[in-house]
Structure 1
Amino acid sequence: MSDDVVKGEFQHRPYFSYSNRSNGGLPGKFHFDWREQTGSGLSDSVRVIQIADNSPYPEAVAFRYKSQKLAVKILKSQRLLTVNEEKALLSRRHSNLVEYLLYGEIMNGPDNESFINPVASILMAYYPGGNLNSLATEHFLTEWEICWFMRQVANGLAYLHAAMAHGDIKGAKIFLTDDRLSCRIGENWKLDSSTDRTISRRRYQVNSGSVWHMSPEMLINIFGDMNTTNFSTNIGRAVGTPFNRIEKPIRVERASDIWSFGCLALEMFNKGVVQYVSSKGKPLQLDFNNNSRDPPAGLQLLQHVKKGAHPDLSSTDSQRMSAPLKDIVKHCLSSKSADRPVATELAVALENLMNRAHLPSQPHLIYSTVDPCEEGLKLYFRAKKHIGQGSFGDVYAIEFTDNNDPQKVTFTHRNNQLALKVLRWGKLDIMHKTALLSLDHPNIVRYICSGILPIDLQFGRPYPSPPTAVLMEYYSGGDLNKLAKHENLNNEDILRYLRQIADGLSYLHARQFSSQQREPIIHAGRPNAAELASALSKGIVAD
């Protein structure tokens, strides 16, 4: 392909340009396509991107990451990073820290937004599993599961604290990999430096997620000398700083991160919320309405803390904590910063706590012809990898660990590639289960059996309420959507796939799988699936 053709193909696409000034490398740029938005703050946003041009040079970013989704943090409100700050950001490599790849700028934002001047941006790895706050909000987490993630956060903090503090540890800042087994701490963009961690009061914008995790000393340093009556403008309230104040940067200490770590534990037990109670044990409510004349939420909380308010360790959800874990959290929430443990001590303590717990149970599916099947047969297996996630459930590739009994499914399918779909909600009744398992067509996924799954495949711990799971054949070739994105399909290929889809639909429609109606479904002017299959087999596609 000529340079002119390439230039014409990509000239209207957004691009990311970078200088490589921190490592002395060559400058460069790559084109990309915007994908979905994954997060936004008070002034910045994070969007998923897909690289559109694949450089032939192996050292180029576009070549190294051409098959991966990446993310771009658009720093609309941030000053430019210094060379040392850029170097510190890009050089940090730890399995529990977000990986930042490049610092550069973009000219074209998402939704066809054009910037007058280049906007500083960070290219980073993409973590599609959400964050710890969304995980805790959406799912009931056992203590062992919470310790699993808290230990990773402690390890990440221990690495970070060897050089600097973080300043904004909370569930929404800790991202999850696709399988939701590994978590990564994201950068705190409120801070003025990547080495000397200080906060400018005027630039510090407070939201509800940060306030509840702030240590007492952070509240005092940021809000302690504010005039509680000077909040008549939205701007003054948003930044939490009266305009007649003398600016003095606030240094962020590592001990404040440890307090936030204790609040993170409460957040994960309490369905994503950190609850404070007054000295009389009553829950606190703060006003985060920026149109109000009340003091900023941080100042409100500080006023309560001075009167004895503290994070609630006695709530119903917090009571699920074992005594050893509660002791760890209490030390993190010590009012004296010098009495709090350091991150390395927390990592060791959580590791020991997990080792003393019962060993994870072996995963198994309880199945039979009766549903629910409490007394059914047990099928033992090992989950090899997480291969899919949707609104209905998670799918895992599995292999059997017992296959000697000729009467069991494990013996019949011992040489097959299989997958297990774990449903997020609902159970299969007898009618739907029988219909699903009776499907037999070369273009329909084959379902082998269903039952209940007592053991969580991610953590090896018993479910409080075991979900329904369906054993099915595993198809390792991906799906048609991915194939169409990565391959140039010709007409013959497309016709072949469409014919197979039409054959499968014809089979399903004949068995009334398209609707609960008992009569065949006919749409005026549209061919039915059998007619489509016949037409496609002849290479004819009607309008």
Structure 2
Amino acid sequence: MRAQEIWELTQRLEPFLHLKHVNVVRHLHHQTVITRQLPEQRNGEQTSMPQYQILMEYCSGGTLHSYARDNIMSASLIQKWTQQLVSGLTYLHKQQCVHRDIKSENIFLSTPDAHNCDLKIGDLGNVKRIVAQFTDSSEISCEKGTYEFMSPEMITGNPALVGRRTDVWSLGCVVIQMITGHAPYFYKVLPQGKEVQLTSGTAIMYFVGKLGGMPRIPNGLPEPMRRFVERCLIRSVRERPYAPDLQGDAFLLEREADQWTMPQRNNAQRN
């Protein structure tokens, strides 16, 4: 990276150093270091290479994606973690930070003890995407599966509509994944009435962006949980709630969520 590129990158990431919330991954330190490369064969001289290093808070529990895949979650744990995600999003949005890539791979468990850890929102402001602008690494910018969490306005690319409520749509998709153990499924009804599951990113994006489709909400959910997910997945951006509006939702305030019965995993993906 050239010195000018590092300076520009520093300016883009500097605001993240000031963010501090229990449900947001901390950016602790940014620094530039100079490394020495091996002598080049053509002239035998050593060359220096500046590198930009980002030190972030370590979350030893791994990602929500891995935990949801490997563990059946109770209603009370889903409620607790949803409360934490809403709290983290509310804070980020108040700091004028729109994430735009909320998904389970970007959410981390602070410790391996799931029932006593905190969920933390990471990859703030699409750090991978920002860094990729200044590097040649295709690995950094590769984000698989994001389309399953993308809102209609993100898919259609309408910059006037993409904002804080875009993250709320993605939150609804994350809750679905906590319930089912996998990213949301999408089904299209054919003219003869048969349903077909959409599996390619192109098909899902066309279904959501052009045909008015949405993720399949699992059947058999406790009613407050279902209504919460439905609120997050309102297609109209102007009618979709902001994150602070969700803090008073009945699902998050329910005191007897530990008594709710959740659908079986193998049936949760279909209505």
Which of 135, 138, 144 does residue 70 from structure 2 map onto?
A: 138
1:297-318 per-position Cα deviation (integer Å, ceiling 9, x unaligned): 3x443322223432011xxxx2
Residues 26-37 of structure 1 mapped to structure 2, 5 A cutoff: none
Alignment pair present for 1:189 and 2:127: yes
Equivalence for 1:257: 167
Alignment pair present for 1:104 and 2:31: yes
- Computing the radius of gyration from Cα coordinates, the structure with the larger value is 1
Equivalence for 1:198: none
Quickly say closer, same or farther: Cα 1:250–1:173, change in 2 above 3 A.
Answer: farther
Contact kept? 1:175, 1:185, Cα under 8 Å: yes
RCO comparison, higher one (Cα < 8 Å, 6+): 2
Contact kept? 2:25, 2:121, Cα under 8 Å: yes
Equivalence for 1:414: none
Q: Which runs of 5+ in 2 are unaligned?
A: 37-46, 132-139, 265-271
Distance 2:152 2:205 in 1: 7
Alignment pair present for 1:270 and 2:180: yes
Deviation at 1:283, TM superposition (A): 1.2
Of all paired residues, the percent bearing the same amino acid is: 28
Quickly say closer, same or farther: Cα 1:149–1:329, change in 2 above 3 A.
Answer: same
Residues 97-496 of structure 1 mapped to structure 2, 5 A cutoff: 97-107=24-34, 117-162=49-94, 163-178=96-111, 179-180=113-114, 181-186=117-122, 187=124, 188-190=126-128, 205=141, 207-221=143-157, 252-280=162-190, 281-286=195-200, 297=201, 299-305=202-208, 306-313=210-217, 318-349=218-249, 350-353=251-254, 355-358=255-258
Amino acid of the structure 2 residue aligned with 1:276: F
Whose strand proportion is higher, 1 or 2?
1
Amino acid of the structure 2 residue aligned with 1:283: Q
Quickly say closer, same or farther: Cα 1:133–1:214, change in 2 above 3 A.
Answer: same
Quickly say closer, same or farther: Cα 1:192–1:359, change in 2 above 3 A.
Answer: same
1:366-393 per-position Cα deviation (integer Å, ceiling 9, x unaligned): xxxxxxxxxxxxxxxxxxxxxxxxxxxx
Distance 1:262 1:85 in 2: 29
Q: How many residues align?
A: 229
Contact kept? 2:101, 2:167, Cα under 8 Å: yes
Distance 2:181 2:205 in 1: 24
Quickly say closer, same or farther: Cα 1:271–1:83, change in 2 above 3 A.
Answer: closer
Quickly say closer, same or farther: Cα 1:125–1:132, change in 2 above 3 A.
Answer: same
Deviation at 1:219, TM superposition (A): 0.5
Equivalence for 2:20: 93
1:165-193 per-position Cα deviation (integer Å, ceiling 9, x unaligned): 11000111011112232111011215659
1:270-315 per-position Cα deviation (integer Å, ceiling 9, x unaligned): 21322111144421110xxxxxxxxxx3x443322223432011xx
RMSD: 3.1
Residues 17-28 of structure 1 mapped to structure 2, 5 A cutoff: none
What secondary structure does 1:338 align onto? coil
Contact kept? 2:129, 2:141, Cα under 8 Å: no
Q: Which runs of 5+ in 1 are unaligned?
A: 1-77, 110-114, 194-203, 223-248, 287-296, 361-460, 465-543
What secondary structure does 2:127 align onto? coil
Contact kept? 2:187, 2:216, Cα under 8 Å: yes
What secondary structure does 2:16 align onto? helix
